[in-house]
Structure 1
């Protein structure tokens, strides 16, 4: 009984350390960024106050923060899921673009369908576009031919070219002259928004994906088998776990989740397919999943944090005259602090 109680206390303390660790990293990064602001002759306190006032302290700003958070949640899950079996999916950006591309194909080809049929169709197509784009690297890795790191990274550069080919060609809208884009989606192909803001149903998709991810990896037999593959593939193989099948299917599901992010962007935000669809959501999602260490709660927390950082870039550019690139410095500081902490822990052990 005493041993069980002690184990439970250790588990509770370990769970408590997670938010404390995230908080400490964030505060350290804010401190370092404040020093940079002071050197540049700007007031960090004013900058942080403006960021809070126009995001969390403002209804419209908070809604825009949730809009930016939506694709980050999805691309982070797309990275975290393969991590469980020891695969590194760097291709969230390309999978997002392919999801947007196939969803656009459905929206343009079946524009006569009513919304109750068209929206599920383009969501399924968006998932399929990302799934196919990620299944190929999963298959190549399962066959032992090409590392998924290399293949997913390279495919990130192919997907936007496919999108550009269609936008500059068959899908080019007659209304666009200097800025090529596809024709606008019909209203039935637009995801619903809430409370007269740009917050859309894609946020519900994203939160549902995080919940399913948590249930899958923490509360199911498949999650146990995935952890076995990630921990010791040879032992898992000897126990009869179908590693080949897991590699292909898990990568396909992960790509499909990233594809949903692309579908949501074209359906809810842009209303059409454009070339500059993503400001790097796939790469930021990779960073989020890595910092969260695959934790579902950590993914939500870090997605909110990076959405806040992204919003801060626009705000500080207007109120403080700080270049938007400065927020990339804050993201880099968070990464460097985490890397430094891990290196220090390895050295001490």
Structure 2
């Protein structure tokens, strides 16, 4: 069996195994899995409004998944996507609130602010990794907490409106919202960010697969020592890869700040989007196309889960269990690949 076919089948089998084990858990818990999955489907695709919400939900998921996948493709573990996502969200809203410019200037400026904020936040672990060989996992995890509390402080003490726990709404000139898109989906919160997310999938694919710089980045990921002896600047490529990864994450934050919500609020904890991005990248095999389809699955599960308690009386936490099981089976993909290889060898015989 070819490696490409194995790579396609592995995440599909992981999803099926997660659903099967989730079904068993529902049966043991006394719930009707057929009713639960029907409610899940209806909550995600039963009405055009829900379809709009699914698309809105997986838009930042695509970008968070790309952020994790890009870093992983060059041999780095960016666990700080959540923090980069938060600072990108705040930066986009800050620009959206502070200026009142023509839309053709204001919206790109707010998006650029989010990209730069995420990139700068990711530059810190990239520089420390390249210059002092500090492990990026530790630094990025710690920076998540710094991002959370720093942004909360700025919102409360600099940008807060009268309520004191969130900013004012951004100006319409900085908004990604579209009345046309919303009217198509029965006035869901769908916005133009989905176009940016799809464009970023293409950008990541083109950069890594079709450019000399992308070849260097992948070479550093495969073997830093070999890349160094081949004359490549390993340290520069490490920093660059983290900066690009952070840019994707910051842009994901802009999807929420400029699209879904239109403001930034004090957060009692992490949003979870950045951490979901890790699972999305794993399930998508760290490819742009894989991340796209994986994000759709996660978006549908998250939105559809909200309908499960209403229609089937099943706790929506069970969807989180199913997602965790899917990630578990993806992480255990060596067993699945070994199984597929054995089937392939038997087929050849």
Spell out the pairing of 1:303-318 with structure 2 (5 A cutoff). Answer: 303-318=295-310
Find the partner of 1:222 among 190, 213, 217: 213
Spell out the pairing of 1:1-349 with structure 2 (5 A cutoff). Answer: 13-110=2-99, 112-174=100-162, 176=163, 180-193=165-178, 194-196=181-183, 197-276=188-267, 279-343=271-335
CA contact 2:63–2:251 (8 Å) conserved in 1 = yes
Shift of 1:107: 1.5
CA–CA distance in 2 between the matches of 1:45 and 1:90?
36
CA–CA distance in 2 between the matches of 1:163 and 1:319?
38
Structure 1: give runs of 5+ residues left out of the alignment: 1-9
Shift of 1:268: 1.0
CA contact 2:10–2:333 (8 Å) conserved in 1 = no
C-alpha distance after superposition, 1:180-224 (max 9, x if no partner): 111111211211321423211111111111110011111222222
C-alpha distance after superposition, 1:151-192 (max 9, x if no partner): 111101111111211222121111x26xx1111112112113
CA contact 2:82–2:271 (8 Å) conserved in 1 = no
Shift of 1:282: 0.2
CA–CA distance in 2 between the matches of 1:284 and 1:32?
20
CA–CA distance in 2 between the matches of 1:191 and 1:124?
13
Shift of 1:81: 1.1
C-alpha distance after superposition, 1:280-323 (max 9, x if no partner): 01001011112222112211111111112211321112222333
Shift of 1:150: 0.6
Shift of 1:53: 2.1
CA–CA distance in 2 between the matches of 1:57 and 1:32?
25
C-alpha distance after superposition, 1:128-167 (max 9, x if no partner): 1100000010000001341111111110111111121122
CA–CA distance in 1 between the matches of 2:66 and 2:262?
24
CA–CA distance in 2 between the matches of 1:79 and 1:25?
19
Taking CA–CA contacts closer than 8 Å with sequence separation of 6 or more, which of the two structures ends up with the larger relative contact order?
Answer: 2
Shift of 1:275: 2.3
Shift of 1:346: 7.1
Aligned to 2:345: none
CA–CA distance in 2 between the matches of 1:150 and 1:273?
27
Equivalenced residues, count = 334
Taking structure 1 as the reference length, the TM-score comes to 0.90
CA–CA distance in 2 between the matches of 1:99 and 1:265?
10
Structure 2: give runs of 5+ residues left out of the alignment: 343-349
